[in-house]
Each structure stands twice: as C-alpha cells, then as structure tokens.
Amino acid sequence: MNIKKLNFKTLAWAIVPALLIGFSACGDDDTPPPSTTTPTKTLNKTTLTNNKVWWNKGSGIKHDFKPDGKYKTSGTWRWINNSDTMEIVGTLGDPALKYRFAWNTETELECERISLAGKGQGLFLMKTTEWQ
C-alpha cells in the first residue's frame, strides 16, 4: 500500500465533509434581525423651545428659546410655515438667520444653519448643558 495515497485519501475524507458543512452554513438565514430599543429621534417643537438653552460643542453658538417667541434677551424666533426650519433674529436690527432642526430630545438636538441660498451647512449636535 502506498503511504502517499493513504494520506491523501485520509485527508480528503476529512476535508470534504468539513467543506460541505461549512457551505451549508452559508445559506439563507430565516432568523429576523434583533429589534432595536433605541427610540426614534423626532422633532418635538414644544420641548425644543420651552425655556431651553442649547450649546454647541465649543459653545460658539448658544440658543436660548422662550416659549413666547423671544430669543435670548432681545431677539425673536419663529417657525417658518410650520416646518422644521426656524428664523432667528438674535437682537433687534440683526439679520435673520435660518436653522433647520432634524430632531431633539429633552437634552440634545441636531440642527444646521441654512445659508441665504437655502443650502444646509452641515448638521451639528447641541446640548442643554455646556460641553466639557
């Protein structure tokens, strides 16, 4: 009996079943994906503007919304056509700025400033506490 033949036959009998088992495991999986427990983040205009102060990272922007349409100490804010976009006048005589709000929770929001051409300048996160 040839030893090389015997080793190849033994090796083949070990590898072929392993390959068949491996390929059969690659078929369709009927198991549904795990459900997520993360709540959907939506825009809640009431909680966003109910005496909330919002800071961006670096505290370069600080929104201070009062429920009566006042912004900070002498400015105003208003929703444009009941949409997700707000017009903000920081102080009397300042030009109006537009922000689109994507979502908010009690302590975080995501928004972007809209240019005069109507294009967004990128979403950024804001919090109700100053960033550390």
pLDDT tens for 83-95 read 999 999 998 889 9
Per-residue exposure over 100-113, b if at least 16 CB sit within 10 Å of its own CB, e if not:
bbbbbeeeebbbbb
pLDDT tens for 46-68 read 999 998 899 998 867 889 999 99
Q: Which domains does the chain have, with CATH numbers?
A: 45-127 (2.40.128)
The pTM of the full predicted model, rounded to 2 decimals, is: 0.66
User: Is the backbone of residue 3 left (phi > 0), alpha (psi -120 to 50) or beta?
Assistant: alpha
Backbone angles phi, psi at 70, to 5 degrees: -80, 145
